[in-house]
Amino acid sequence: MNPNLLIHIIGVVAILAGILQLFVFHHQWQKLKVTMNEHTTGWMPLSLWTSVWFGIVFIVVGIGFLFFGV
């Protein structure tokens, strides 16, 4: 298998994983906004924002693989 093709496939998969992560964050955030009350732990929003950062990192790494062959 061509190494360049493998790098491009990894880049596309990483970008798709990042987009999926951001989609899951949006869905969970909409659900949490409705059900959040004084008994909701403070760690829940923190975990959601951590998932946003993972999504952004996946997208940046995917772009790096796709366009720069990192």
Cα–Cα nearest to 59, from 25, 28, 21, 4 = 21
Q: What is the mean pLDDT of residues 10-15?
A: 97
The whole-chain average pLDDT of the chain stands at 90
CA 26/CA 4 separation, integer angstroms: 33
Prediction pTM value = 0.84
CA 62/CA 31 separation, integer angstroms: 28
- Strand, coil or helix: what is 57? helix
